[in-house]
Homo-oligomer: A and B are copies of this chain.
Amino acid sequence: MHALDQADPLAHYRDLFVSSPEVVAYLDGNSLGRPLTASVERVGAFMTEQWGGRLIRGWDEGWMQQAQTIGDDLGRVVLGAAPGQTTIGDSTTVLLYKLVRAALSDRGDRDEIVIDRDNFPTDRYVLEGVAAELGLTLRWIEPGDVTVDRIPLSKKTALVVLSHVAYRSGYLADVAGITAAVHEAGALVLWDLCHSAGVVPTELDAWGVDIAVGCSYKYLNGGPGAPAFAYVAERHHGLRQPIQGWLGSQQPFEMGQGYEPADGIRRFLSGTPPVIGMLPMRDMVALIEAVGLEAVRAKSVALTSYALELVDELPVEVSTPRDAAQRGSHVTIEHPRFAELMPVLWEQGVIPDFRRPSGIRLGLSPLSTSFAELQLGVEAIGALLEH
């Protein structure tokens, strides 16, 4: 056993995940987290006993509230959010659209949205679309780490959309500081938590965040295409989102004439909640609660530190911050040959993530990644680079 695994108090949690004999090193927990065995069992039991046995009665027995009950759990354990401000549903893209439109529904004469060129494509694409349809101007932060001084704030700024952890470099933004600066400029800020939720301690309420979205299939282990989550601070529950559906209405089963938005977080829902799709993340949230997010973060820092130590032996460029306080849970390295090496690595059961044109991301999910597999993976990359 690797000495670092032997010393790791969280090492045994790895046994809770579905293992696969041909996977030598899974280093892509930041794209798709592994399934918990408990989740496989939970989904099977749900399909047989709840869907198959309770049938339509299930909607009266908890399914209808599930987006909010799991949302509250996520808020408490992962987001630092008091109850009633978090919900689950849609994809990250759709939630982004709805919440950006909601944030802009009360913008007065402010007509600028700020976003960075390094933000994930879907965030940029959604913003481009919304700016075009509302006749607003996009102000771009040019590539680089997002710090307060680089954000073009003005009296025209309506909304700033940023990522907590940058999907390429892994740079960890100062949410509290930037949020305060945006508020001082009189604007709102929407944080994308896709690459931080479940692995970086987050205090949305304490940091004064307005709105946040994130996905559940990375460090929340929700499964491929699992639904997204949204946080909307209670003071913004008067905002209106554009996709008016029955599940966001005041009285869904009255089926009356005329849409009246529900009070509270439910107004940001639209269609029927993805009941089965949100089950796996529940197990991961429960596990994070048992372990403690601070302990998860401590192992994440140990893993990324060890990854940096290992990749420093390779002829690669490192684009992830050296300062642990400035990085999330993945380490990105660049080499012109990575595109050609990826299929070979996958064939060997070494599975990092690839980002064109030349980046490999080592995504380290603390509860399912061992130091030993990290070492095996980096060594496999090194061996291929030598040939």
Q: Of the 9-residue stretches A26-34, A106-114, A200-208, A321-329, which lies at the interface with chain B?
A: A26-34
* A245/B55 in contact, CB under 8 A: no
In angstroms, Cα B115 to Cα A259, docked, is 15
Q: Of the 9-residue stretches A5-13, A40-48, A145-153, A285-293, which lies at the interface with chain B?
A: A40-48
In angstroms, Cα B53 to Cα A18, docked, is 8
Min CB gap A283→B, angstroms: 12
Q: Number of residues in A with C-beta < 8 Å to the partner?
A: 81
Contact of A346 among B18, B20, B57 (CB under 8 A): B57
Closest to A254 in B: B356
Number of copies: 2
CB of A271 closer than 8 Å to a CB of B: yes
* A271/B47 in contact, CB under 8 A: no
In angstroms, Cα B59 to Cα A310, docked, is 28
Interface centre among A31, A51, A356 (most CB of B within 10 A): A51
Q: Can you report 12 residue pairs joining A to B where beta carbons are below 8 Å apart?
A: A18-B47, A20-B53, A35-B47, A43-B43, A59-B224, A94-B243, A94-B270, A121-B255, A129-B242, A129-B259, A130-B242, A215-B272
Min CB gap A316→B, angstroms: 20
Known contacts A225-B275, A356-B254; is A34 also within 8 Å of B52 by CB?
A: yes
Known contacts A23-B53, A34-B55; is A243 also within 8 Å of B47 by CB?
A: no
Min CB gap A125→B, angstroms: 4
CB of A85 closer than 8 Å to a CB of B: no
In angstroms, Cα B51 to Cα A40, docked, is 10
Q: Binary interface profile of A, 224-261, with partner B (CB < 8 Å = 1, else 0)?
A: 11111000000000000011111101001111111100
In angstroms, Cα B274 to Cα A89, docked, is 11
Closest to A44 in B: B44
Contact of A243 among B28, B44, B126 (CB under 8 A): B126
Min CB gap A47→B, angstroms: 5
Contact of A51 among B35, B133, B228, B346 (CB under 8 A): B35
Complex interface: chain B residues within 8 A of A351 (CB): 55-57
In angstroms, Cα B339 to Cα A254, docked, is 13
* B52/A47 in contact, CB under 8 A: no
CB of A92 closer than 8 Å to a CB of B: yes
Complex interface: chain B residues within 8 A of A157 (CB): none
* A97/B215 in contact, CB under 8 A: no
In angstroms, Cα B57 to Cα A293, docked, is 28
Closest CB pairs A-B (n = 8): A91-B271, A93-B271, A93-B245, A18-B52, A129-B244, A125-B259, A224-B275, A20-B53
CB of A63 closer than 8 Å to a CB of B: yes
